[in-house]
Amino acid sequence: MTLRNLSGFKIAVALCCVLALTACSKKNTPNLEAANSGLGAGASSPGSEADFATNVGDRIYFVVDQADLTPEGEEILSKQAAWLQQYPGVSIQMEGHSDERGTREYNIALSARRATAAREFLIAQGVEANRISSIAYGKERPAALCDADQCWTQNRRAVTVITGGARTS
């Protein structure tokens, strides 16, 4: 398995990622499919989207109704910042999302707060602001589809989507 190529810590992160993918959702978002195909095809090439999603982690999670970063979230964002500084040509969009247990307009505003919190953390870590756009999706694009809190926790998230500059293979 390709995970053997990675350091122990990275294996843990990658496993987390895979678990999150299979726990509730049979359908993956497009960027997660990219991560999967990267895994299946062999080692993710450094600087690629698959490298980012697999070895860094493309998403962080939030507590119900909160936009404050958790310690785990800050850890992943720190690794994202380091990766983005290693690949300065990469531009990203920070997607804010909420779970479905709220009203539409409020969730749009709440998910904007989450995207902002994640984006500002990356900027504070030295990533240039003009490399990071952000967008709020509210509850419109859930990642996990069950009707239990184990899915809702995966939907309260900020996802870092690479929009340009990544290596293709």
Partner 1 sequence: MPNFARLATMRNFLVMLSFLVLALVPRTSFALEVDVSGGRINPLPIAITPFLVGGGAEEAGATLGDVISNNLGRSGYFEPLPQNSFIEQITDFNQEPRFADWRQIQAKALVTGQVYVEGGKIRVEFKLFDVNSQQQIAAQQFSTSPKNLRRIGHLTSDVIYKALTGIDGYFDTQIVFVDESGSKDRRVKKLAVMDQDGFNVRTLTDGSELVVTPRFSPNSQEITYMSIGQGTPRVYLFNIVTRQKEIVGEFANMSFAPRYSPDGQRVIMSLLTTDGRNSNIYEMDLRSRQLRQLTNTPAINTGPSYAPDGSQITFESDRGGSQQIYVMGVDGSGQNRISFGNGRYSTPVWSPDGQHIAFTKQAGGRFAIGVMKPDGSGERILTEGYHNEGPTWAPNGRVIMFFRDTPGENGGPQLYSVDITGYNEQQVPTPGFGSDPAWSPRLN
Minimum Å gap between C-beta 155 and partner 1 is 9
Q: Which of 108, 123, 125, 165 binds partner 1 (CB under 8 A)?
A: 108
Place of tokens 């929009």: 163
Q: Is 122 in the site for partner 1 (CB under 8 A)?
A: no
Count the neighbouring beta carbons within 10 Å of the beta carbon of residue 151: 18
At 169 the three-state DSSP class reads coil
Scanning residues 27 to 46, which ones bind partner 1 (CB under 8 A)? 27, 29
Q: Given the complex with partner 1, which of 82 and 145 has the nearer CB atom?
A: 145
Lookup: tokens for 155: 């939907």
Q: Which helix (H) or strand (E) holds 30?
A: helix 30-41
Q: Given the complex with partner 1, which of 79 and 114 has the nearer CB atom?
A: 114
Q: Which helix (H) or strand (E) holds 133?
A: strand 132-136
Minimum Å gap between C-beta 11 and partner 1 is 27
